[in-house]
Amino acid sequence: MMPPFSYQIIVAGTKSKAKGIQGQYPITQNVTVVEGATANMTCRVDYNDNTSLQWSNPAQQTLFFGDKKALRDHRIELVRASSQELTIRINDVSLSDEGLYTCSLFTMPVRTTKAFLTVLGVPGRPEITGFTKPAMEGDVVTLTCTTSGSKPAATIRWFRNDKEVQGTKEVNATGKSFTVRSSLQFQVDKRDDGVAYTCSVEHVSLSKPYMTTEVLEVHYAPHLEITHSLIIPQEGQYFKLECVSIGNPIPEPVEWSKDGGELPDIERMIVEGRELTITTLNKTDNGTYRCEASNHLGSSSAEYILFVYAKDFPGPTTDPNALGQHGPDHALIGGVVAVVVFITLCLIIVLGRYLARHKGTYLTHEAKGAEDAPDADTAIINAEGNHVHAEEKKEYFI
C-alpha cells in the first residue's frame, strides 16, 4: 500500500565527542517514517582511526559492515560509507521494519549506539455501512464507519451535514496495526431526509483527513397546505390555488374538489398538476376547496374557504378567507360576557342592600300643628284640633 506522502522525522539521539581513542562513540538519530516510504539511517563519528562502522537491525542481523552488504535484502542499499560516516537506506519500509537499530564502532572495546526506527501505519480509506435505502420514518438506524491498517490507532469523527456528532468508538489490534470502528445510532424522521453523514479519519501519517459521505433517504407520509394568489379575491379576477405537498415519495396525483363534490365549472376551473386556476371569479365560486394526495405511507388533505367580493369592494385590512379558516375569537367574546354579568350582579346586590335599610321608614302629620305653633298655648289648641280630626290622620311611607 503506497502512502499518501513520504516523510522522515529525525530525532536526535545521544551524542559524545571523541576524546582520543578512549572517547570515540558513534552518533545516531531516531527516525520516523510512513509505511511504504524510505528511511535513511546515519551513523557518524567525530574521530576515527580507520576503524570500521557497522549497522545491525532489531534482530541483530548485520546490514552493512563498512561498505560491505551483509544481508540479502534488495530494499536495503548503501548511501555513503567513509571512516566517519555510514548511511544506509531502507526502501518501502513496512511495519515489521520498526525497532531498535544498532550502530557499532569496532574499537577495543566495541562501542555502540542505538537508533529507533518508528513506522507509521497509514489508515485505509473509511467505509460506512448500515445504510438502508430508503429508511422509513421512525426506524432506528445504526451507521458504522470502519478504517484498518493504522498505527497508532486512527481517530474517527462523524459529521451530520457540517455539525459534528458523537459516535461510539471501538479499537482492535490486528498484528502491529489497528482496526478502528465508530458507530452512530439514531431514530430517523423526515428531517433526516437528504442529510449527509460524513465519516472523517484523521492520523499523523495523513496530510489531510480521509472522508467518505453517505446521504440518508427517508420515506414519510405526506402533509399538504394550500396557498392562494390573492388576499382579496374579487369578481372578474384571475385566481390561483396551489396544493403544496411535503412527503417522500412525492404524494401524487393531487385531486381537487369543491364543497365535497367535483369542480362545477371545468371551463373556468383549470387543474394543472398541483394548481387550480379560476380564470374569472364570480359569486358562484364561493365555497370550500379541498386538495388530496397520498403515497404508500398515507394520505393527506387541505382546505381553503373562498369568498369572492364585489368588484368595487375596497377590501378589508386582513385576509377574509383567513377569518373563515380560523373562526371568531371566542376568548374575547367570553371575556365581554363575563364582565357584563359581573356588573349586573353588583348592581343587584347594591339595590337590594339599599331597600333593606329603608324598609318601614315613614312620617305622620299627627303633631304638625304643634310643631308650627309660636308658643305652648297655641300648640295645645292646635293639638286638640288635630284630635278632633283624628279620623282623618294619614301615614306617608318613604
- What's the grid cell of residue 159? 459529521
Which of 345 and 271 is assigned the larger pLDDT? 271
pLDDT at 338: 79
The residues that bridge with 45 in the sheet, in sequence order, are: none
- What's the grid cell of residue 94? 513496512
Distance (Å) of CA 337 to CA 330, 332, 340, 345: 11, 9, 5, 13
In the predicted model, what is the mean pLDDT of residues 298-311?
Answer: 93
CA atoms within 13 A on the CB side of 117: 29
Q: Which amino acid is at 159?
A: F
pLDDT at 278: 94
Question: CA quadruple 189, 194, 195, 196: dihedral positive or negative?
Answer: positive
In the predicted model, what is the mean pLDDT of residues 229-233?
Answer: 90
In the predicted model, what is the mean pLDDT of residues 349-374?
Answer: 59
Query: Taking 70 as the threshold, does the pLDDT of residue 374 lie above it?
Result: no
Q: Which domains does the chain have, with CATH numbers?
A: 26-120 (2.60.40.10), 127-216 (2.60.40.10), 221-306 (2.60.40.10)
Question: CA quadruple 215, 217, 218, 223: dihedral positive or negative?
Answer: positive
Query: Taking 80 as the threshold, does the pLDDT of residue 394 lie above it?
Result: no
Neighbour-count burial for 38-63, b at 16+ CB within 10 Å, e otherwise: bbebbbbbeebeebbbbbbbeeeeeb
Distance (Å) of CA 56 to CA 43, 49, 105, 137: 11, 21, 12, 63
In the predicted model, what is the mean pLDDT of residues 209-222?
Answer: 94
Q: Residue 378 carries which DSSP code?
A: H
Query: Taking 90 as the threshold, does the pLDDT of residue 318 lie above it?
Result: no
Nearest Cα residue to 212 out of 328, 152, 123, 272: 123
Distance (Å) of CA 189 to CA 137, 216, 246: 5, 11, 13
Tell me the pLDDT band of 310, cut-offs 50, 70 and 90.
confident
**Which pLDDT tens digit goes with each residue over 122-145?**
999 999 999 878 999 999 999 999
CA distance 153 to 127: 16
pLDDT at 85: 93
Which of 392 and 202 is assigned the larger pLDDT? 202
Burial of 155 (0-12, 13-18, 19+ CB in 10 A): middle
E strands, 151-254, where? 155-160, 163-165, 168-174, 177-187, 196-202, 210-215, 218-228, 239-248
SS3 (DSSP) at 109: coil
Phi, psi of 120 (to 5 degrees): -90, 125
First to last CA, the chain: 119
Query: Taking 70 as the threshold, does the pLDDT of residue 20 lie above it?
Result: no
SS3 (DSSP) at 282: coil
- What's the grid cell of residue 72? 540479502
In the predicted model, what is the mean pLDDT of residues 198-204?
Answer: 97
Query: Taking 60 as the threshold, does the pLDDT of residue 100 lie above it?
Result: yes
pLDDT at 48: 78
CA distance 139 to 219: 10
Query: Taking 80 as the threshold, does the pLDDT of residue 358 lie above it?
Result: no
CA distance 208 to 204: 9
Tell me the pLDDT band of 216, cut-offs 50, 70 and 90.
very high
- What's the grid cell of residue 286? 364561493
Write the CB contacts of 170 (distance below 8 Å, at least 6 apart in sequence): 180, 181, 182, 183
Query: Taking 80 as the threshold, does the pLDDT of residue 330 lie above it?
Result: no
Which of 332 and 209 is assigned the larger pLDDT? 209
